[in-house]
Amino acid sequence: MKRKIRWALTAVLAGSLALAGCGGGDKPAGGNAEPKTGGTLNISLDADPPKLDPAFSTALVDRMVFQSIFDKLVDLDANGKIVPMLAEKWEVSDDQKTYTFKLRQGVKFHDGTDFNAEAVKFNFERNMDKASTRRNELKEVDKVTVVDPYTVKVQLKQPFAPFLSVLTDRAGMMVSPEAVKKYGDDFANHPVGTGPFIYKERVKGSTITLEKNPNYWQKGLPKLDKVVYKVMTDSNVALTNLKSGQVDITNRFPFKEIDSYKNDPKIMVVNQADQGYQGMHLNTKKPPFDKKELRQAVDLLIDRDAIVKVVLNGAGTPGHSPFAPSHFAYGDSDKYEKPNLEKAKELLKQAGKPDGFTFTLKIGTTPQNQQLGQMIQNMLKPAGINVNLEKVEFGTLLDQAKKGNFEAVQLGWSGRPDPDQNIFDFVVTGGSNNYSQYSNPEVDKLLNAARVEGDEAKRKALYDQAMKILNDDAEYIYFYHSNTVFGVSKAVKGFTYIPDGMIRTANLSLSK
Amino acid sequence: MAFLVRRLLLAIPVILLVTVMVFSLLHMLPGDPATVILGQEATPEAVAALREELGLNKPIVIQYLDWLAGVLRGDLGRSLVDHTPVSELIAQRLPATLELTVGTFIVAILIAFPAGIISATRPGKWVDYGSTMFALGGMSIPHFWLGMMFIVFFSVKLGWLPASGYVPFADDPAANLAAMIMPMVATGLRESAILMRMLRSSLLEVMHADYIRTAYSKGLKEWAVIMRHALKNALVPVVTTSGLLVAGLLGGLVITESIFSIPGFGRLIVESIFARDYVTVQGAILVSALLVVVVNLLVDLLYAIIDPRIKVGKGV
């Protein structure tokens, strides 16, 4: 009986959907605000995702699309806590070196193959391969073993506190082993996961179309029929599309427009702290910044409140550490001094440069980069420090930073859920993102200790200690933690902001 | 026919030269493609592995010859970013730009011809001033600004046309036209202004010629004189300008394509340059150079139709 009712309901639903599809613009004017199922959600992206393959992805914008196609072993909730997803539960051994995951049963990949322990093992090994960009995140993993069809054991070389956090992002996304075998190098053009939506087609530079996964493991989800990601590189273009209804969510919102949409009846501006930070690397191996006092002087002259107010239009938090406000390590380590010209001049004198000095700051090419650069220029001028701004296209900027070919370079980080992922590779000796070529055995020791520490409070204490040294050494000048700002049409129901700044589509529906 | 063959053969060294220049210029750009592709998170080993895989360690001449050998086999290579065949990327992007180019050109002609003829036949009158003003405005107003204004007015305020959302013509002609009309008019207005100025001055010159006086003295109506005698002779410089316009549009619609989110050819080239996707840029430039050669060929053929005195076989 129950089954029959369900069939009848499905038939009615399908019928009404078909009608709505044919009816063009005229939607039935139902009075209830109850979110409906079905419909197409359009999300604009500020860049074309380069690679739809979690193992090889390097761009922030890829991760946006991944949320709909791939499920992860674990996910983040709205409070930034780690919650089960494809792994129903897990146990950590007493020595913190073995994680045993119990997997959700009855989950299928979009190509119909089973999700099971073998698939998890396959994914770990694929991500640990030397070609994978995930390799670095998983380098503490020693061995992955299949215990039974739905149990996987992951052994680490040493305790690694950020391990679960890592699995809430690309390294924990499960792709279909069969599809990888079938498509090989071309998998990025045929992504297959277990997520709420199935990859349908893509027009490079324009759209990525996903269709509902009718066999999704979460009952009643997804609610939409289709999700279409549209590439709109100009945020004003995206905004006009949001206003005209061609787009329901924009992943970037022009900072300057935030205030004017506060009371808009149709558009909600989501303005929330994300996990990243911005600042500049000072090259500790090259004059002038091989002198600590000069680095400290620059640090002391930066007016972070002014930067947040002007460059971000208030959509951010002034900062002095790599830990965003949502991290447990945030707080003590983020305290900074108000700009202090006298003290800065004192430091210049100590370094033997009482009249100041000149350096070149390399920045990206966006108007925002330029504005930031000019503000820094003006803030340092009173102490006699002259800044030559050199605008460099992003790819080149990264290349030059990696090669240590700079005096100062403005580069930030989009952020990750665990503090370790935002600090370790940036400051430890020889770290892959340690562009400042900084090296301090004490910091190395503290950060390695924080990595293996399971207790949050103890970890925070270790980070506080490390930050004290780092802020004194000032090899990187932290400016701010910016917010993620989305424009969301009020027709979109079920939108929840997750602190990693990624849009989850499974729960969304449209009431228009 | 011999002329055609010779023209096509002459085009080959031109195209080759273009690709050599693009290839060497791209490689002169600072920044390592492997670093750009792998981004901030890459380990040095991964960068080294990718460089090896992409053949970036080979001398540039070898890289170029490898690519050329592929082209001769009909293989434009695969994108460095995601391994998609470059020919597929181009096939995806070219139709939108071709359509936009043709549409823009049609809009330009529809405006330029009547306006140019009317103002040339009434020099110094208010219609002339009016259309000259229009032309000046058309050339001065940036078309990206005009495009934005169109969107604000027709999409946001009135809701008549979609602000974006390109649909291939074959899939849904009505939706395709709805999406394309604003970009076509926004760019077309500008091009029409240039064409109109050209047509006006060229017509004015012809109107003073003896044979026009003869035509008038035979008792022909003004309309007939212009259409049958003057216009045809005034067309040669206009066709030359049109050829340049069309050739320019094929690669130069980047801004229009960005504003209206049209997946076009111009954006493909720009995006690939930013991604250091040399292989894609190479293929796209090659196709672009081919198109320009074809357009120039068509222009030459048109000359012969307009003015049989320009003997095709003798070369121009």
Residue B276: closest CA among chain A residues belongs to which residue?
A395
Q: Which of B43, B50, B82 sits opposite A188 (nearest CB)?
A: B82
Closest CA to B203 of B174, B180, B225: B225
Nearest to A58 among B30, B41, B263 (CB): B41
User: Across the strands, what pairs with A261?
Assistant: none
Q: Which of A86, A59, A58, A81 is nearest to A70 (CA)?
A: A86
How far apart are alpha carbons B158 and A245 in whole angstroms? 12
Determine whether the interchain pair A189/B82 forms a contact, defined as Cβ–Cβ distance below 8 Å.
Answer: yes
Residues 47-86 of B with CB under 8 A from A: 49-50, 81-84
B162 touches chain A (CB under 8 A): yes
B46: which chain A residues are within 8 Å (Cβ-Cβ)?
130-133, 135
A244 chain-B contacts, CB cut-off 8 A: 151, 155-156, 159, 162-163
How far apart are the C-alpha atoms of B110 and B104, rounded to whole Å? 10
Q: What pLDDT, on the 0 to 100 scale, is given for residue B143?
A: 82
Looking at beta carbons, which residues of chain A come within 8 Å of B30?
Answer: 396, 399-400
Q: Tell me the nearest-neighbour CA distance from A235 into chain B, angstroms.
A: 10
Mutual angle of helices B143-150 and B173-207, in 10-degree steps: 140
From chain B, the residues in CB contact with A411 under 8 A are 40
Do B43 and A432 count as a contact with CB atoms less than 8 A apart? Answer: yes
Interface check B158 vs A, CB under 8 A: no
CA dist A48 and A188 (Å) reads 13
Tokens of A7: 């069939």
Which of B40, B51, B269 to mutate: most A Cβ within 10 Å?
B40
- What local confidence, expressed as pLDDT, does residue A447 receive? 95
Of residues A273, A276, A270, A295, the one with CA closest to residue A284? A295
Alpha-carbon distance of B4 to B26, in angstroms, equals: 33
Structure tokens at A332: 């003590």
Q: Looking at CA atoms only, how far is residue B123 from chain A in angstroms?
A: 42
The encoded tokens of residue A167 equal 């699995």
Across the interface, do A230 and B271 touch by the CB < 8 Å criterion? no
CA distances from A415 to A311, A324, A351, B77, B181 (A): 19, 8, 34, 35, 42
In terms of CA atoms, which chain A residue is nearest residue B148?
A237
* Contact between chains at A189 and B92 (C-beta distance less than 8 A): no
Chain centroid to CA A416:
6
Cα–Cα distance, A339 to A336 (Å, whole number): 9
| Chain A residues within 8 A of B92 when measuring between CB atoms | 203-204
Our CA-based measurement puts residue B163 at a distance from the nearest CA of chain A, in whole angstroms, of 6
Q: Which helix (H) or strand (E) holds B232?
A: helix B231-252
Residues of B in contact with A395 (CB under 8 A): 31, 35-36, 274-276
Nearest CB among A205, A395, A399 relative to B267 is that of: A205
512 residues of chain A, pLDDT tens digit each = 444 444 444 444 444 444 333 333 333 333 444 556 789 999 999 988 888 999 988 888 999 999 999 999 999 999 888 999 999 999 999 888 999 999 999 999 999 999 999 999 999 999 998 878 888 889 899 999 999 999 999 999 988 989 999 999 999 999 999 999 999 888 999 999 999 999 999 888 889 999 999 999 998 889 999 999 999 888 888 998 999 888 999 998 988 889 899 889 999 999 998 889 999 999 999 999 999 999 999 999 999 999 999 999 899 999 999 998 888 899 888 889 899 999 999 999 999 999 999 999 999 988 889 999 999 999 999 999 999 999 988 878 888 898 899 999 999 998 888 999 999 999 999 888 899 999 999 999 999 999 988 888 999 999 999 999 999 999 999 999 989 999 999 999 999 999 888 999 999 999 87
Tell me what percent of chain A is helix, strand and coil, each rounded to the nearest 5: 35, 20, 45
Angle between helices B231-252 and B86-121 (to 10 degrees): 150
Here the tokens at position A35 are 């979110």
Cβ within 8 Å, pair A205-B271? yes
Query: Helices in A209-261 by DSSP H: which ranges?
Result: 235-244
Q: B261-284 pLDDT, tens per residue?
A: 888 888 888 888 888 888 888 899
| B263 chain-A contacts, CB cut-off 8 A | 203-207
Point out which residues pair with A199 in neighbouring strands. A210
Span B181-235, pLDDT tens digits: 999 998 898 888 888 888 888 888 887 888 878 888 887 777 777 777 788 778 8
Phi, psi of A384 (to 5 degrees): 85, 10
d(CA A163, CA A417): 11
Report yes or no: A115 and A174 within 8 Å, Cβ to Cβ: yes
Nearest to B190 by CA among B138, B148, B147: B138
User: What pLDDT score does B310 carry?
Assistant: 64
pLDDT digits (tens, 9 = 90+) for B100-112: 999 999 999 999 8
State how far the Cα of A56 lies from the Cα of B38, in Å rounded to an integer.
8
CB contact under 8 Å between A240 and B151, yes or no, is: yes
Q: Give residue A19's pLDDT.
A: 38
Give the B window 252-271 contacts with A, CB below 8 Å.
258-259, 261-264, 267-268, 271
Identify the CA nearest to A431 among candidates B43, B38, B45. B43
Cβ(A316)–Cβ(A386) below 8 Å:
no
Q: What is the pLDDT of residue B207?
A: 79
Beta bridge partners of B168: none
The DSSP bridge pattern shows strands A476-489 and A249-250 to be antiparallel
- B118 touches A at CB < 8 Å: no
Contact map slice: B 17-46 vs A, CB within 8 A: 29-32, 35-46
Count chain A–chain B contacts defined by CB atoms under 8 A: 131
| Chain B 213-252, residues with CB within 8 Å of chain A CB atoms | none
Whether residues A241 and B163 touch (CB distance < 8 A) is answered with yes
| Interface contact flag, B41 A206, Cβ < 8 Å | no
The upper half-sphere exposure of residue A404, i.e. CA atoms within 13 Å in the direction of its Cβ, equals: 14
A217 vs chain B: nearest CA distance in angstroms?
A: 30
**Any chain A CB within 8 A of the CB of B308?**
no
pLDDT score recorded for residue A281: 96
pLDDT at A1: 41
DSSP state of A185: G
Q: Find the CB nearest B263 among A204, A236, A244.
A: A204
The ipTM (two decimal places) reads 0.76
| For B38, nearest residue in chain A (alpha carbons) | A58
**How many residues does this entry show for chain B?**
316
Using a CB-CB distance cutoff of 8 angstroms, which residues of chain A are in contact with residue B159? 244-245
Cross-chain Cβ contact B35/A395 below 8 Å? yes
Chain A residues in contact with B32 (beta carbon < 8 A): 399
pLDDT given at position A343: 94
Q: What is the pLDDT of residue B1?
A: 62
Is A135's CB within 8 Å of B40's CB? no
Chain A residues with CB under 8 Å of B271 CB are 48, 205
Residues of chain B with pLDDT under 50: 315-316
- Give dist(CA A392, CA A406) in Å, integer: 11
Does the global pTM surpass 0.90? Answer: no
Question: Count of CB atoms within 10 A of residue A45's CB?
Answer: 25
For residue A257, which residues of chain B lie inside 8 Å, CB to CB? none
The chain A residue lying nearest B83, using CA atoms, is A186
Nearest-Cα distance to chain A for B135, in Å, is 27
The DSSP output letter for A108 is: B
Give yes or no for a contact between B279 and B80, defined as CB atoms under 8 angstroms apart.
yes
SS3 assignment, position B138 = helix
